[in-house]
Amino acid sequence: MNRRVIEVTAELIEEGGFSVYCPELDIYTQGEDREDALLNLQEAAQLHIEETGGRPGVQ
């Protein structure tokens, strides 16, 4: 398995939970806590990379 390091921003949501954004892949996710949000982001990023081949700018 190839590993790739990406930068993310996590913010506490006023209504509860966390929002996480990855600018490199332009992916937003949410979770009940920071760990949950990051796990959701990891899954979304893996799916995105599988679908696009990891090419920047491909949606």
What is the set of domains in the chain, with CATH numbers?
9-52 (3.30.160.250)
Position 56 scores a pLDDT of 55
Edge-to-edge strand ranges of the sheet holding 9-12: 9-12, 18-22, 27-31
- Sign, CA dihedral 16-22-23-28, equals negative
- Whether residue 19 is predicted with pLDDT greater than 70 in this model: the reply is yes
30 neighbors 19 (Cβ within 8 angstroms): yes
- Whether residue 12 is predicted with pLDDT greater than 90 in this model: the reply is yes
State the chain's mean pLDDT as an integer.
Answer: 88
- Whether residue 2 is predicted with pLDDT greater than 90 in this model: the reply is no
Predicted TM-score (pTM) of the model is 0.77
